[in-house]
Amino acid sequence: MKTVQFREAICEAMSEEMRRDESIYLMGEEVAEYNGAYKASKGMLDEFGEKRVIDTPIAELGFAGIAIGSAMNGNRPIVEYMTFNFSLVGIDQIINNAAKIRQMSGGQFNCPIVFRGPTASAGQLGATHSQAFENWFANTPGLKVIVPSNPYDAKGLLKAAIRDDDPVIFMESEQMYGDKMEIPEGEYIIPIGVADIKREGTDVTIVSFGKIIKEAYKAADELAKENISVEIIDLRTVRPMDHAAILTSVKKTNRLVVLEEAWPFASVASEITYRIQDEAFDYLDAPIKRITTADTPAPYSPVLLEKWIPNSNDVVKAVKEVLYL
Amino acid sequence: MKKITKQTYLDWYKDMLFWRKFEDKLASVYIQQKVRGFLHLYNGQEAILAGALHAMDLSKDKMITAYRNHVQPIGMGEDPKRVMAELYGKATGTSKGMGGSMHIFSKEFGFYGGHGIVGGQIPLGAGIAFGDKYKGSDGVTLTCFGDGAARQGSLHEAFNMAMLWKLPVIFIVENNGYAMGTSVDRTANHTDIWKLGLGYEMPCGPVDAMNPIKVAEAVDEAIQRARRGDGPTFLEMKTYRYRGHSMSDAQHYRTKDEVEEYKKIDPITQVKDIILEKGYATEEEISVIDKEVKSRVKECEKFAEESPYPETQQLYDMVYEQEDYPFIS
């Protein structure tokens, strides 16, 4: 085992795959000479050269489309968005081309491509730089959406994403790049679409994904002091969702809280809530609770931001509500 | 470029006439509601395809275009019966009925679609060229779009990176005068679309695109440039469409006289006049070609009519490469 930062896990996954397959290249703003805006591609230009580690102008629509076109013609691109907030100017290419080429061409063309970069808030960045669009992408048939929460999962899932023959959205966090964790020395792959039970428990199920899951860990520690046993499921993949894992857990605990750093309307939490009430209604001992950001654009002021974003106290409160405590 | 010979003119006449009659047939079966959705026809613009195909090497060159896209794959080698069947939504169609009129694809013949979002295919075309350059092929990608798409940001981003990276791509704007019902002079402060290339120092210029010879010469020069590794070219094909933007277009934005003026320089008529003038064929021989074309179009219609619809399970078959993708049901 060795200890790596999240950014190093990302870099290892990309580098190992690029050594294995010549058709893979990395493209994006500042990925080459600058070593990545968050240093997730540190050293890659030196190893792979400018043919395969490519700095782009600031043109998210254009380079998304170029990468997709090359994927139709034999490449397996990794496209880095400095943040998924910036993917919005290129989202037409992702939704209308990457996600649809295979079906529209009757299976003649496919699009093996990974779009990766940070999602959601990262401190006081204000409204345009604090958004989570997991549900937007997950709403679209043709895409897969992965949101890892730690370095181990990030490496194994990114390697799976790069090897996948379908377009994958891979979402990280500026606030996780420095997280450290022990990972195996050698290569490993984590399958797409499989959730992970991060903590086993018996009284209530919390489902979450991405960096906000840390608030669930903190809440679980607090609740353990009161002898409340929390099971925490990390979705890891939002689309396809490991619905069976949630269902199994809810049938055991009979109570569900969903924690998501995103707006409430039509959120991933909404989808989980619908499906559990549909398939496990008789197992539920309390209405499902979801915890999301406030239904507003992210504010700047620290006082307002703290109010806007979910925290462990919100989780503790929700867990107690579903336990009628 | 291959020499333009007697055979070239005869092939041009036969091909362009077939494309025109194929589109006319689609218009008539559309009115019978056998083909649905939107239907955008190529009538009037045939010289662009005929000329470009003459300059291309179809063993390695590729093409991508927008939604006025039925005849390009046919020109590149695709079986027109399968294109007609796609418009009928049949299982024998090029996309097995998944794409329809605006989304014809033919990977086997290097035709990359068939794209429904105006300008969305422009960066894709640059990307296909990127793929060829990456793998060391000297194939060239013709990236076609309409005058309306020239006003999209996607064009500018693709132009910039294609020049920066010297991609083997030819950008072709088929300027037929109207973005749906909006004339070119109502979409920008200038009407010479080819001049957009100047800002990127991209070789560019206008082409008389009612004449396949002029098109072939311009495309050939651009292909040679791209093959040498000298990067993209932007060509403005000055053309005209006789029919509306789509079948629902009442065409209040132009006069019948204007359409008639362009029909005087019709590409098929121009080629036919040369054939007769030079004695490459007699009127009788041309009428034999006309009959053959009519009968081939009829065969396409028959094939499409008689083909089966897809099985409904096919709905889930082509969204993902992953065979057991767990769709929500």
HSE, CB side, 13 Å, CA atoms: give it for residue B114: 33
- Within a domain: A215: yes
Q: Do A94 and A203 share a domain, yes or no?
A: no
Domains and CATH numbers, chain B: 6-316 (3.40.50.970)
**Residue where a domain terminates, one of A183, A214, A233:** A183
CB-CB contact of A195 with A238 (8 Å): no
Closest to A80 (Cα-Cα) out of A28, A133, A38, A33 = A28
Print the domain residue range for A215.
Answer: 196-322
Contact A106 B95 (CB under 8 A): yes
The dihedral over CA atoms of B100, B104, B106, B109, expressed in degrees to the nearest 10, equals 150
Domain identity same for A139 and A207: no
For residues A82 and A151, membership in a common domain is answered with yes
A30 shares its domain with A168: yes
Q: Which of A23, A91, A103, A239 to mutate to test the interface with B (most CBs of B within 10 A)?
A: A103
**pLDDT at site B54:** 98
Residue A188 belongs to some domain of the structure: no
User: For position B112, what pLDDT does the model report?
Assistant: 98
Which of B113, B120, B317 faces A105 most closely, judged by CB atoms? B113
Q: How far is B196 from chain A (nearest CA, A)?
A: 17
In a domain, A314, yes or no: yes
Answer whether A143 touches B (CB < 8 Å).
no
Residues A175 and A66 in one domain: yes
Where chain A has pLDDT below 70, the residues are: none
| pLDDT attached to residue B66 | 98
Of B95, B106, B128, the CB nearest to A72: B128
* pLDDT for position B151: 96
> For B82-92, what is each residue's pLDDT tens digit?
999 999 999 99
Contact present, B100 and B126 (Cβ < 8 Å): no
A13: CATH: 3.40.50.970
Residue A315: CB partners within 8 Å, gap ≥ 6?
Answer: A206, A215, A216, A218, A219, A257, A259, A291
- Chain A contact for B197 (CB, 8 A cutoff): no
The pLDDT, as a whole number, for residue B254 is 94
Q: What is the mean pLDDT of chain A?
A: 98
Q: How confident is the model at residue B41 (pLDDT cuts 50, 70, 90)?
A: very high
Same domain for A252 and A204: yes
A155 and A205 co-located in one domain: no
Name the DSSP class of B106: B
Cβ-defined contact of A166 to B99 (cutoff 8 Å): no
Give the single-character DSSP code of B104. -
For chain B, how are helix, strand and coil distributed in percent, rounded to 5? 50, 10, 40
| A273-301 residue pLDDT tens | 999 999 999 999 999 999 999 999 999 99
Same domain assignment for residues A164 and A291? no
The pLDDT of residue B123: 98
B107 close contact with A: CB closer than 8 A: yes
- Residue B100 preceded by cis peptide, ω within 30: no
Same domain membership, residue A301 and residue A170:
no
Structural domains of chain A, count: 2
Top residue of B79, B156, B320 to mutate, by most chain A CBs within 10 Å, is B320
Q: What is the pLDDT of residue A103?
A: 98
Phi, psi of B267 (to 5 degrees): -60, -35
Residues 6+ apart with CB under 8 A from B276: B282, B283, B286
The answer to the question of residue A189 being in a domain is: no
pLDDT tens digits, one per residue of B257-315: 999 999 999 999 999 999 999 999 999 999 999 999 999 999 999 999 999 999 999 99
B90 and chain A: CB distance < 8 Å anywhere? no
Residue A154 belongs to some domain of the structure: yes
DSSP at A297:
P
Q: What is the pLDDT of residue B70?
A: 98
In a domain, A68, yes or no: yes
End position of a domain, from candidates A159, A183, A207: A183
Q: Classify the complex by whether its ipTM is higher than 0.95, answering yes or no.
A: yes
| Residue labelled with tokens 């109207």 | B178
Same domain, A95 and A65: yes
Hey, CA dihedral for A101, A48, A30, A134, is it positive or negative? positive
Question: A107 in helix, strand or coil?
Answer: coil
CATH code of the domain containing A297: 3.40.50.920
B133 interaction partners in chain A (CB closer than 8 Å): none
pTM (2 decimals)?
0.97
Q: How many angstroms separate the CA of residue A149 from the nearest CA in chain B?
A: 23
Q: Are residues A6 and A145 in the same domain?
A: yes
Look-up of token digits 């009129």: B101
Same domain, A98 and A203: no
